Amino acid sequence: DVKVTQSSRYLVKRTGEKVFLECVQDMDHENMFWYRQDPGLGLRLIYFSYDVKMKEKGDIPEGYSVSREKKERFSLILESASTNQTSMYLCASTAAGEWLRELFFGEGSRLTVL
Amino acid sequence: AQKVTQAQTEISVVEKEDVTLDCVYETRDTTYYLFWYKQPPSGELVFLIRRNSFDEQNEISGRYSWNFQKSTSSFNFTITASQVVDSAVYFCALSEVSTGGATNKLIFGTGTLLAVQP
């Protein structure tokens, strides 16, 4: 089975802190994604990566950056956390190919910024 | 622009009732994919179905069925004889072409919370 593992289920940080959210997948997928989920807004794409060291902005990249140094790992970075970044963060991965396959999701990381 | 609309924010039914979750989409792509995901209280999204734009056949999987109609840009999901275990948030999603030209992104609707009462 595909496994997407997010390092922390729950985090509490203070305004201005640097936050790292880690995601690891074990199925050699080329594509990895970071989404943010908020009530009434659904899932919104922050960044995605289609290869090592490659990244593309999603719909709401402001205030975030990402790192993909190894194929299996995709990190989301909040350089200076703010209260409006309190949210559920979901990582996903999928294999590359001619047709878009289903995304496999992690369990999510719920971040609270005080 | 690509868009997915799930107009039903919350639906509450009693067990054994049938329920339909609506999904309407907008896209400028000629080839695209539509998905449904289930998010139970545990939080992890579970893939239910993928449909490509060339296949308008309806699909049935057990108590689940999907009705894809390109003419109305809709991809509705019906649960027959609902059960308490069906209680979850259900998301409809649409593929999007990234700037690199590959169809490798998904945009999601806002979700429908289904509550099935015993």
Alpha carbon dihedral A14, A8, A36, B86, in 10-degree steps, equals -130
Query: What does the pLDDT read at residue B38?
Result: 96
Q: Do B110 and A31 touch (CB under 8 A)?
A: no
What pLDDT tens digit does each residue of chain A (114 aa) get? 669 999 889 999 999 999 999 999 999 999 999 999 999 899 999 999 988 988 999 999 999 999 999 999 999 999 999 999 999 999 999 988 766 788 999 999 999 999
pLDDT band at B93 (very low <50, low <70, confident <90, very high): very high
Q: Is residue B104 pLDDT above 90, yes or no? A: no
Mean pLDDT value of segment B74-94 = 96
How many alpha carbons lie under 13 Å from residue B105 in its C-beta half-sphere?
25
| Chain B contact set for A102 (CB, 8 A) | 35, 47, 50
Contacts of B106 in chain A (CB under 8 A): 33, 45, 100, 103
Query: Any chain B CB within 8 A of the CB of A38?
Result: no
Q: How far apart are CA B86 and CA B70, in angstroms?
A: 27
Confidence of residue B99 (pLDDT cuts 50, 70, 90): low
Phi then psi for A99, rounded to 5 degrees? -110, 140
Instruction: Evaluate whether A9 touches A22 at the Cβ level (below 8 Å).
Output: no
A6 in contact with B, Cβ within 8 Å: no
Structure tokens at B69: 């109609």
* Residues within 8 A of B (CB atoms), A 51-90 only: 56, 58-59, 88, 90
Kindly indicate the confidence band of residue B52, based on its pLDDT and cuts at 50, 70 and 90: confident
How many separate helices (H) and strands (E) can be counted in chain A?
0, 11
Residues A50, B100 contacting (CB under 8 angstroms): yes
Please say if the pLDDT value at position B97 is more than 80.
no
